[in-house]
Amino acid sequence: MYATTSGTGAAPAQPTQRLSARDQHVWALFTDWCAATDQPPIPATPHQLARFLHDNPAAAATQRRRVSVINTVHRRQGHPAPGTDEAIRRALNARRRARLQHVSALVAERLPQIPIAGWPAGLFGRRDALILALAAAGVGFEQIARLRRWDIIATGDHSAPLLLSVGRERIDLPESPEIPIVSIYLEWTEVLGFLDQNHGTRTIARHFEAGRGLAGFDAAYRTDDRPLLTPINRWGHTPLAPAPLTARAVAAITHAHLSGKAPAHTLPPRRSRPDTAPHVHSIDGNRNLDSHYYERGTQARRNAHQDLTDVTDLLDDIEDRADQLLAELASILDDVT
């Protein structure tokens, strides 16, 4: 497998035999630098890789190859590839750096315009703000759509970055004054934490409508394999069964906000009922009733009583079926949570 360097003695120094001679030279250069700086070559941190590239300047294509080799060796050893860090990717790709700088500037401009209060605008706003912040950090639309709750970890310290897992790779998403991604993430987890504790859209709607906010409910947020970002319909309802946003929906939401064409997300107007009085039949005081009207009325009531003898049993059966449906719904909600 691997030999060890004489400098560190504990970390692998040579790549596997599957590496080409050219790649072995790249790996040897990296391990020699690690030995000289008294650092293990595996697992290397993104900061360590950035220092290596700084201390060993070369053409952009050469640096990209070095990063590719170091990433390959790390993956083969079961470690996260340090070269997937966004800062290194931007440093090695001028076009990517320019594009993401442009996106970040647009996102920073749009974020203050996105509401995080009010119903249902605040619900949409918190979700969409997280989508924009992730896109500005360089996370692709497909990756955003696939994110599960346990893929992002916040330490609770706003000065520390979010830790994002994409496959086997770990990406640091640092907080910045222009795009406070940690705060944006926590605002969305407040929503999810509230829904984890209180099932039903009406309950969270009352909080938004009363302006009470959701501070503290991020503590109830549970990290599991449910989608991090979900669809929301026009009335503010999220799917009962966990369902993720599609990559196309993530792209559409991002483009709508960056182009300034995002919908306001106001509730549709309720249909007004016709304000017309029911038709009232006038009483004809001059009508004469025959002498048998009382017997006919009594017989009609007797017939109705006989016809309705089964109604009680029918209503009992409906009530039993309703109780059964409620029990099944409670079981589904328990499975979801």
Quick one: angle between helices 181-197 and 121-136, nearest 10?
Answer: 140
pLDDT of amino acid 9: 45
If DSSP codes are grouped into helix, strand and coil, which group holds residue 4? Answer: strand
pLDDT of amino acid 150: 92
Q: Which of 165, 11, 178 is nearest to 81 (CA)?
A: 165
Query: Is 327 contained in some domain?
Result: no
Q: pLDDT tens-digit profile of 255-300?
A: 999 999 999 888 877 776 655 555 555 555 566 666 777 777 788 8
pLDDT at 86 over 80: no
Q: pLDDT tens-digit profile of 17-61?
A: 578 888 888 999 999 999 999 999 998 888 888 889 888 888 888
Given pLDDT bands bounded at 50, 70 and 90, which one contains residue 4? very low
Give 167 or 304, the one with higher predicted confidence.
Answer: 304
What does the DSSP assignment read for 147-187? -BGGGEE--S-TTSPEEEEETTEEEEE---SSS-HHHHHHH
Among 74, 92, 110, the domain-final residue is 92
Q: pLDDT tens-digit profile of 7-16?
A: 444 444 444 5
Distance CA 205, CA 279 (A): 39
Q: pLDDT tens-digit profile of 160-204?
A: 678 787 665 667 777 788 999 999 999 999 999 999 998 778 889
Query: Is 313 contained in some domain?
Result: no
Q: How many domains does the chain have?
A: 2
**Do residue 126 and residue 206 come from a single domain?**
yes
Give 142 or 276, the one with higher predicted confidence.
Answer: 142
pLDDT of amino acid 326: 66
**Do residue 115 and residue 168 come from a single domain?**
yes
pLDDT at 5 over 50: no
Number of continuous H segments (helices) and E segments (strands) in the chain? 12, 3
pLDDT of amino acid 303: 76
The parent domain of residue 194 ranges over: 101-258
**Do residue 34 and residue 178 come from a single domain?**
no
pLDDT of amino acid 288: 67
**Do residue 236 and residue 164 come from a single domain?**
yes
Mean pLDDT of the chain: 81
> What is the CATH classification number for the domain harbouring 144?
1.10.443
Percent pLDDT > 70 in the chain is: 75
